[in-house]
Chain A
């Protein structure tokens, strides 16, 4: 536990020691707020559902921005050798990066609270769906981070990792979007809805906490975490 804590705090120092982290967090909030408030007063509803519905799309860009250098940076700078020479497991190294990224986005989510406050001042939104939407956002960050970290392990160049991450996550998001779903037969729609996080996220946003949605986020998130550990292990062969 002491080792894992040390690895997480190292990651957090690296995250918060750079101004880019704050810029990413600020831009993430600004983009979401812009999308939300451009229609909020026209809709004339004290609801945050529209606010959270942009998260699967915006996070598909912002998570790879944060994770792109997590592993590729260690290889590029050579610090992976320093890290792997310590008596820690590869799984702990990846887990620490995973945890630090999630902590960073939890920090960014804190800045969404003023929006919640504004909506509460203007009306009486349902509290349940707001809580489950935050839960869904954390699940989504968990899933996207695991894919982003795997993308980061595939290349030593930040930009390549970013592109792999964004294309994968945007592709995953598109699988569940009406533009794609309308063009495929029913069976395809069922498969794509299972694969894409959108439908699972929407269930949470409606206030529904279903086991299948939790299993989806955790199993796919764990799978890419495992793949990332395997990739680092493969590099040692």
Chain B
């Protein structure tokens, strides 16, 4: 379970998050929505301990991120926006590095993750020679290493072609059966296709949250999103 308790984040004179309180239960797949600059990435970074909140705290499975960031990070697999990777490494080298850095045993999971992410054919290739779609899969595979109970994905399908988007969505859906997933995206149809719950934030504040079907009530998510964030 992830709990945001009255989290505020200020960057010099910009208020990125304003008293954000939010709960994500075990096994949920939650879409994090908001216009550019709404505070989505900031919320995810705080959850991972990459940046510290100005006020409030985040608890991941009962652990305060600020007090024990290492333990929290070992429970979260993260795919960050633009998915930066090390271009000089081969795919297997990168996955092995991630596994060792996570202090996990690569052998027990390697074949399963490589197969699940469709990386078998490129496993010996250098990352800088991979297509954007394969790079995204490498990032996803790295986030799955160590079998973390929580997966945070920041814009996982950005820049991919329609076929790649469908494949990545399938992959996310398959992993959501066993894990808690937070998915940030600008593509509303993607959120509707994958997530059961949503949180919409605007100017650092929660504008709505809850079950996707209850929020939309048969209407399009696009219209609701516009109504809530065009102010």
Q: Given A2-B100, A13-B93, A236-B52 in contact, is the A89-B84 Cβ separation under 8 Å?
A: no
Report if A84 contacts B (CB, 8 A): yes
Instruction: Name A92's closest neighbour in chain B (CB-CB).
Output: B101
- The 8 Å CB contact of A82, one of B52, B76, B80, B99, is B80
Which of B66-74, B165-173, B184-192 participates in binding chain A? B66-74
A13, B100: Cβ atoms under 8 Å?
A: no
A81, B84: Cβ atoms under 8 Å?
A: yes
Q: 1/0 contact trace for B115-149 toward A, CB 8 Å?
A: 00000000000000000000000000010000000
Q: How close is B134's CB to chain A, nearest CB, in angstroms?
A: 16
Which of chain B's residues 80-101 have a Cβ closer than 8 Å to chain A?
80, 82, 84-86, 88-89, 93, 96-101
Q: How far is the CA of A173 from the CA of B128 in the complex (A)?
A: 39
Which of chain B's residues 51-72 have a Cβ closer than 8 Å to chain A?
51-52, 70-71
A78, B80: Cβ atoms under 8 Å?
A: yes
Q: How close is A75's CB to chain B, nearest CB, in angstroms?
A: 10
Instruction: Please report the total number of B residues contacting A with Cβ < 8 Å.
Output: 29
Report if B228 contacts A (CB, 8 A): no
A237, B89: Cβ atoms under 8 Å?
A: no
Cβ contacts under 8 Å, B85 to chain A = 79, 82
Residues in A lying within 8 Å of B, measured CB to CB: 2-3, 5-7, 9-10, 13-14, 17-18, 77-79, 81-82, 84-89, 236-237
Cβ contacts under 8 Å, B100 to chain A = 2-3, 5-6
Q: Given A10-B97, A17-B88, A236-B51 in contact, is the A78-B103 Cβ separation under 8 Å?
A: no
Cβ contacts under 8 Å, B97 to chain A = 6, 9-10
Which of chain B's residues 9-65 have a Cβ closer than 8 Å to chain A?
45, 48-52
Cβ contacts under 8 Å, A82 to chain B = 78, 80, 84-85, 142
Q: How far is the CA of A237 from the CA of B10 in the complex (A)?
A: 10
Q: How close is B10's CB to chain A, nearest CB, in angstroms?
A: 11
Q: How close is A120's CB to chain B, nearest CB, in angstroms?
A: 38
Q: How close is A123's CB to chain B, nearest CB, in angstroms?
A: 44
Q: How far is the CA of A237 from the CA of B227 in the complex (A)?
A: 33
Cβ contacts under 8 Å, A77 to chain B = 84
Instruction: Name A88's closest neighbour in chain B (CB-CB).
Output: B101
9 A-B residue pairings within 8 Å (CB atoms): A6-B97, A6-B101, A14-B86, A79-B85, A81-B45, A85-B48, A87-B101, A88-B70, A236-B50
Cβ contacts under 8 Å, B76 to chain A = 85
Report if B179 contacts A (CB, 8 A): no
Cβ contacts under 8 Å, B86 to chain A = 10, 13-14, 79
Q: How close is A26's CB to chain B, nearest CB, in angstroms?
A: 19
Q: How far is the CA of A87 from the CA of B82 in the complex (A)?
A: 21
Q: How far is the CA of A82 from the CA of B143 in the complex (A)?
A: 10
Cβ contacts under 8 Å, B98 to chain A = 86
3 cross-chain pairs, A with B, having the tightest CB-CB distances, nearest first = A6-B100, A78-B84, A17-B88
* Residue of B52, B73, B78, B84 with most chain A CB atoms under a 10 A cut-off: B84
Q: Given A85-B73, A85-B78, A87-B101 in contact, is the A237-B52 Cβ separation under 8 Å?
A: yes
Q: Given A2-B100, A7-B101 in contact, is the A18-B48 Cβ separation under 8 Å?
A: no
Cβ contacts under 8 Å, A9 to chain B = 97
A86, B52: Cβ atoms under 8 Å?
A: no
